[in-house]
Amino acid sequence: MDNISDATKGFVDLRRHMWMEGVEVDLRRLLWQIAVTGKYISAKIDESNRKLAGLKNIYGEDQLALDKSSDEILLNQLKFSGFVREYASEEQATIVPVGTGAEKYFVTADPLDGSSLVDTNLAIGTIIGIHDEPVLEGGRENMVAAMYITYGPLITMVYSAGKGTHEFVLNREGEYVLSEENIELKEKGSIYSIGGLRKDWTAEHTAYIEFLEKEGYKLRYSGGFVPDINQIMIKKGGVFTYPALKTAERGKLRLIFELQPMAFLMEQAGGMATDGNRDILSIKPESLDQRNPIYIGSRYEIEKAKEFLNT
Ligand code: AHG
Ligand code: MN
Ligand code: MN
């Protein structure tokens, strides 16, 4: 562990931070390896964006291929990590065994969330969950860590290994530097993000949103789950929801790949996540690609969502 060089540079990098937090040694190596893939994925996004900007029609299909290449990058990294037994990804139909069967950790990934936004130059992201039991076991007690990476004007990474939620920024030297330790959400925020068409909302959800609007909440929705969640994290409050719809009663977002990792990070920052009735982390998945409605953010807004949805 090379801590002296970090100390002389006057900042705390990711490895040093995890070591100071006492994160289990294999887990911290694994988290570091995953964070590194963020650099490779961002290089792919950059390459694809440049092509799209200049040669849109010829290279339009690259935008879709980015989901796949991000998945390949992650899978290759994890295959040789030595700490991962199984890899479950939004881009894979089944769980991929990657280890010898003796490894401690099971990884979930949405390798590139918001890929349809790539050509708009809005922020997109990667979402990771780490479990110490097979991912279909689900649940709070089997989740040991989560992380997301935001590819925006800066590349930032937020992780939790169950000891608070922390933000890092990738600096020009390619190091993840601690920018905010122990993010703590306020009781109540002032922004709301809503997915789904208004005409498809249920009466209970509509009443909840009207309540937020009367209270003066500002609408902030980019259409990218990672930057929309990151906004609530960094602004220390607010609510993101992708509700049950009349046309899709389980909503849109995926429990294992998207919702549970974000719920873990939000709870560790003092926030909450529910499907309206149950905590997102208490839901046991029935299938790999299960979808659930979600209300996630600071406590006041989530408690209110529960009240409105259960009347
Ligand atoms: P993905 O790109 O991994 O399929 O996920 C897209 C998701 C998520 O980023 C966002 O919150 C949601 O789709 C937006 O959906 P709408 O376009 O229906 O608002
Ligand atoms: Mn996604
Ligand atoms: Mn995706």
Q: What are the residue ranges in the chain where pLDDT is below 70?
A: 1-9, 52-64
205 and 262 inside one domain: yes
pLDDT digit string (tens) for 35-88? 999 999 999 998 887 776 665 544 444 545 889 999 999 999 999 899 999 999
CATH at 161? 3.30.540.10
pLDDT tens per residue, range 299-310: 999 999 999 999
Residue owning the nearest CA to atom 6 of ligand 1:
114
For residue 55, tell me if it sits in a domain.
yes
Backbone torsions φ then ψ of 162, nearest 5 degrees: 85, 10
Q: Domain residues for 29?
A: 7-180
How far is residue 308's CA from residue 213's CA, in Å, rounded to a whole number?
A: 14
Distance in angstroms (rounded) separating the CA atoms of residues 17 and 31: 12
End position of a domain, from candidates 154, 180, 206: 180
Please check whether residues 138 and 227 belong to one and the same domain: no
Pocket test for ligand 1, best of 242, 245, 294 (most atoms within 8 A of CB): 242
pLDDT for position 222: 96
Distance 104 CA to ligand 3 centre (A): 25
Atom of ligand 1 nearest to the CA of 116: 2
What is the rounded CA–CA span in Å between residue 21 and residue 79? Answer: 26
CB-based contact 273:262 (threshold 8 Å): yes
Structure tokens at 278: 């149950």
8 Å CB contact between 267 and 281: yes
Give the pLDDT score at 138: 79
Residues of the chain with pLDDT > 90, as a percent, come to 84
Cα of 224 vs centre of ligand 2, distance in Å, is 8
Residues 239 and 144 in one domain: no
Which CATH number fits the domain that encloses residue 281?
Answer: 3.40.190.80
In this structure, what token pair is assigned to residue 244? 């049950």
Domain annotation covers residue 66:
yes
Contact yes or no for 176/163 (Cβ under 8 A): no
Q: Name the residue of 66, 70, 253 to mutate for ligand 1: max ligand atoms within 8 A of Cβ.
A: 253
Count of domains forming the chain = 2
Question: Is residue 120 located within the same domain as residue 226?
Answer: no
Strand 143-151 and strand 218-219: pairing? unpaired
Give the number of the atom of ligand 1 that is nearest the alpha carbon of residue 196.
18
- Among 309, 307, 300, smallest CA distance to 215 is for 300
Q: Which atom of ligand 1 is nearest to the CA of 257?
A: 3
Pairing verdict, β 239-242 and 218-219? unpaired
Note the ligand closest to the C-alpha atom of 296: 1
Q: What is the pLDDT of residue 10?
A: 79
Question: From CA 145, how far away is CA 162, in angstroms rounded?
Answer: 6
Nearest C-alpha to atom 8 of ligand 1 is from which residue? 225
